Structure 1
Amino acid sequence: MAGHNKRHQVVIVGAGLGGLTAAAFLQRFGIDVHVYEKAPELKEIGAGINLDSNAIRVLLRLGITEEELMEVAVPLKEVWEFRNGNDGRVLYSEPFKKDFGAPHVVIHRGELHSLIKSKVTKDAITVNHGCVNVEQNNDGVQITFENGVTVEADVLIGADGGRSVVRNAVVDSPPKMRFWAAMYRSLVPIDQVPPSERVPNRTAWLGSRHFFMRYPVSGGKLLNIVGAVPRSHWEHNGPIDANVEDFLAEFTGWDENIQAMIGSAQETKLWPLYDMDPLERWSNNRITLLGDAAHLLLPFLGQGAAQAIEDAEVLAGNLKNLTKGTDLTEIFARYEGLRKPRASTVQFMARTIWNFIDPPYINSEVSSIPGDDIFNQYKSLFNMHEWLNGYDLQKDVVS
């Protein structure tokens, strides 16, 4: 069977943004790496994502040029703008700062995925291989896929998302997945929304235990709109098709421009929002984790993709001199020591933001928390922007 008994220096399970970024860096260092993905074809689902300057600097070092990026991304003039949900009043705005040495952009996840994938050779990626079991000893790791194929590696990197299979070989017990809320997501042609909303800003409206955000993607052709809404439980396996009318009803009485943006959507999906507590560890012998597999987080700091991309560069940089006799214990301890405190802080702060919007102590009958009140708590986190973007990742990469 194709792939049976193949051995690589590094195997990565999961061809998402973090897994492919790690593969691209490792190939640049001359490491024999192969990525296995469970999906039948290699594409990223989803809609728009935010990329702060901390992630852009990594992508530039990976070899993605600013020109390539700007063909599909939209650089932000206002990296944050907050408004009151009821009347649209601007509560705060934060302009882009050039001090961070890279643009701050918004981009469609699929277009970013394609850019990163272009930096990995095609023969290093295999689709339709869902990992079902991992076993290791001091000589290597054996990975078994649902089609019966097995491969071996000196190192295994689990980049297989929040419901990671690889993680089961790292931690003693699976982490509890915490469900917090749900989020409507839609993409709308930019020419169908009010002219005042066709701007290169990332704007969030706050109030009434809800959160609405919009920003342009796909070179400004589309507007990404999202609406986070409180939910007490989730009965589905993943995102579901939803009705635009229900999306609209959640924001009844809000700023009329919000109503217009939602009303312009032809379709929408409702996504569950989960996170998990920090893991006891990220690594075990020859296996380590990155991205959501290591630190699943809520989207309210816009750092999910960025933290996975940071993980990838730091991990690859510490594996760049990998040989058969390399002491992986020392390498993984350094990687985890560098990355876990930062990623765990982002997990905590993203959760804290949702707790500002939908406080756990609020009676479920109450639905009138003003945007101003939320913002007065939220603004205490604004120095997070400096901390996130000013991070000197290069010092964590072994030269």
Structure 2
Amino acid sequence: MEINPAVTFKHDRTVMFAKRPKVLIVGAGIGGLTLGILLHKAGIPFEIYERILEVKPLGAAMFFNCTTANLFKQCGIHDEFVAMGKYISAIKVCNEKRELEFSMDFEGHDEIYGASGYIVSRPQIYDLLLRQIPRECIHFGKKVLTMDQGGNGVLIRFSDGTEAEGDILVGADGAYSAVRQGLYEKLKKANKLPPSDALPLPFSTVCLIGQTDPLTLDEYPDLALEKSQLINFIGTDKMYSWSTSTTAENRICWDCTLFLTEETSKDNDAFRNSEWGEGAAQAMCEDIKDFPIISGGDKMRTIQDLIDRTPEDLICKVMLEEKVFKTWYNCRTVLIGDACHKFNPAGGVGGSNAMHDAVVLANRINGLPFHPVAEEIEAAFKAYKKERIGWVGRASDNSRAFVTMIGQSTSSKITRYILKHMPPSAMRLMERRQFTHRPQASFLPLAEDNGTVKPAPQPSLTIKTPVAAVNPTTTQAV
């Protein structure tokens, strides 16, 4: 197919058979898989293209709560998710002496917001989502080289010499999105790209992450506790914080964050990685090996004990960039997840917000008329961003606040003091800024939400699936 940007024809829907737009999703991460699941359930044709040949079980713990519970219920995976997760009732903040400074409690969320929060390892949630996608709809080893779009469709070309064409292109391919880069390159040439979107992703931290093999309860008694023990440690005289969390698999997911100074930023500037991957980790392991952790037993364990029980290929060092881009779409191309808003993973909101994007975008795509033209598609993308941008801004603020809280600056110490002395009622008010956002797919039976605090209004929930007209002379859908 030759893509012609100048094509602006209008379809005559009275003589054309009903056709849903075909969606090409680049990136098989949390957001891309969630969108694929929803499009599959909506009966909208889609294909997912992932540049790596196979998914490696990298990444530490992920936290999902009431903001995604309704989506999981609609997709029929909530029970399985709860079974693989471990209930979390608090985030504990400790000092280097292993003493509890304060905790942020989540008890009662099931009643207040309709669902509780759970810790699950990233490989587990990824596998759960991947199993919901028809195998023939996902293609690995597809690295995007170029993309074109216009009035008559989208076309992407891959490094293996193959091509794919469709009606909509979704960039769900992470912080260093090839789709975003290709889109921005064209917009920049046309003087349509905001200057801030052309700047490199900023970063102020680097992180070492890992997850252990299954451990015995004798070694780590905290694993036997019903609730996940999510503990953040604040360094006394070092530019580090670190955390551990226990999972239902009797593993410990762990991470250690280095807060960069002007000098250490230069040292790490050469290290940039667009994927959770191996490498560049050994030196940092040596730096952090003596940091204390809490195991629940009498033995005073350190991060070295976790490193020793973590397979080498499951330890990786990553940059923790933060940025909300201004440009999320153009013509037939749209971005979701880290491709348009990158949060520091320490805040724990990246995965859930990628899912929220997928829900709203799926609702908007499902509401498109049959044979949508480029203007209709772009209007749907505009509505998607308008619905999401406020919540993304709040998530970004919350993420930054959490990162500040575990840091070493004066602001960090002030933030910890405020949280330590904050009344529970004030904490509840802060929570509502994010936990009232519980989006659902408009084209699936709604999940019952019994939270005493009702969900915030969701504009895309009112969108209806288009109904094909019938030509009375042929009795065929048009």
TM-score range, shorter chain: 0.7 to 0.9
Deviation at 1:256, TM superposition (A): 8.9
Cα contact 2:288–2:303 (8 A) shared by 1: yes
Matched, 1:324 2:352: no
1:102-251 map, 5 Å: 102-171=115-184, 172=193, 173-188=197-212, 189-191=214-216, 193-196=219-222, 198-199=224-225, 200-208=228-236, 209-217=239-247, 219-231=248-260, 232-233=264-265, 234=268, 235-238=270-273, 239=277, 240=279, 241-242=281-282, 244-249=285-290, 251=291
Greater C-alpha radius of gyration: 2
Cα contact 2:59–2:210 (8 A) shared by 1: no
Partner residue, 2:17: none
Deviation at 1:194, TM superposition (A): 4.0
Partner residue, 1:299: 345
Partner residue, 1:264: 305
Larger deviation, residues 316-325 vs 191-200: 191-200
Cα contact 1:282–1:336 (8 A) shared by 2: yes
Distance of 2:126 and 2:42 partners within structure 1: 21
Distance of 1:194 and 1:317 partners within structure 2: 45
Cα contact 1:15–1:35 (8 A) shared by 2: yes
Secondary structure, aligned partner of 1:393 = coil
Give, as a single letter, the amino acid of the residue that structure 2 aligns with 1:54: T
Deviation at 1:337, TM superposition (A): 0.4
Partner residue, 2:32: 19
Distance of 2:182 and 2:223 partners within structure 1: 47
Give, as a single letter, the amino acid of the residue that structure 2 aligns with 1:40: L
Distance of 1:360 and 1:177 partners within structure 2: 22
Cα contact 2:155–2:163 (8 A) shared by 1: yes
Residues 75 and 278 of structure 1: is their aligned pair in 2 closer, same or farther, counting only changes over 3 Å? same
Cα contact 2:87–2:119 (8 A) shared by 1: yes
**Residues 107-132 of structure 1: per-residue CA shift (max 9 Å, x gap):** 11111111111111111001100112
Matched, 1:37 2:50: yes
Alignment TM-score, normalising by the size of structure 2? 0.72
**Greater percentage in strand:** 1
Cα contact 2:272–2:319 (8 A) shared by 1: no
**Residues 28-60 of structure 1: per-residue CA shift (max 9 Å, x gap):** 111000000001124552222111221232222
**Residues 306-362 of structure 1: per-residue CA shift (max 9 Å, x gap):** 000111111111111443225112211110001122113322332343334435679
Task: Calculate percent identity across the aligned residue pairs.
Answer: 21
Deviation at 1:64, TM superposition (A): 0.8
**Residues 264-307 of structure 1: per-residue CA shift (max 9 Å, x gap):** 22246342333243212201010000000010110232111000
Secondary structure, aligned partner of 2:361 = helix
**Alignment: residue pair count:** 380
Distance of 1:85 and 1:255 partners within structure 2: 10
Give, as a single letter, the amino acid of the residue that structure 2 aligns with 1:213: S
Distance of 2:134 and 2:222 partners within structure 1: 43
Give, as a single letter, the amino acid of the residue that structure 1 aligns with 2:252: L
Secondary structure, aligned partner of 1:85 = coil
Give, as a single letter, the amino acid of the residue that structure 1 aligns with 2:221: P
Give, as a single letter, the amino acid of the residue that structure 1 aligns with 2:271: H
Give, as a single letter, the amino acid of the residue that structure 1 aligns with 2:323: D
Secondary structure, aligned partner of 1:300 = helix
Give, as a single letter, the amino acid of the residue that structure 2 aligns with 1:224: C
Deviation at 1:378, TM superposition (A): 5.1
Unaligned segments of structure 2, at least 5 residues: 1-19, 185-192, 441-457, 465-478
Residues 181 and 285 of structure 1: is their aligned pair in 2 closer, same or farther, counting only changes over 3 Å? same
Matched, 1:58 2:88: no
Deviation at 1:236, TM superposition (A): 2.6
Unaligned segments of structure 1, at least 5 residues: 1-6, 363-368
Residues 221 and 87 of structure 1: is their aligned pair in 2 closer, same or farther, counting only changes over 3 Å? closer
Distance of 2:82 and 2:164 partners within structure 1: 38
Alignment TM-score, normalising by the size of structure 1? 0.86
Deviation at 1:377, TM superposition (A): 4.5
Residues 182 and 198 of structure 1: is their aligned pair in 2 closer, same or farther, counting only changes over 3 Å? farther
Cα contact 1:206–1:375 (8 A) shared by 2: no
Secondary structure, aligned partner of 2:380 = helix
Matched, 1:281 2:281: no
Give, as a single letter, the amino acid of the residue that structure 1 aligns with 2:133: V
**Residues 134-164 of structure 1: per-residue CA shift (max 9 Å, x gap):** 1111111111111121111100000000000
Give, as a single letter, the amino acid of the residue that structure 2 aligns with 1:101: G
Give, as a single letter, the amino acid of the residue that structure 1 aligns with 2:142: H
Q: CA RMSD in A?
A: 2.8
Deviation at 1:198, TM superposition (A): 5.0
Cα contact 1:86–1:207 (8 A) shared by 2: no
1:313-352 map, 5 Å: 313-322=359-368, 323-325=370-372, 327-352=376-401
Moved over 4 A (4+): 254-259, 359-362, 377-384
Partner residue, 1:95: 106
Cα contact 1:190–1:198 (8 A) shared by 2: no
Distance of 2:372 and 2:282 partners within structure 1: 53
Give, as a single letter, the amino acid of the residue that structure 2 aligns with 1:324: H
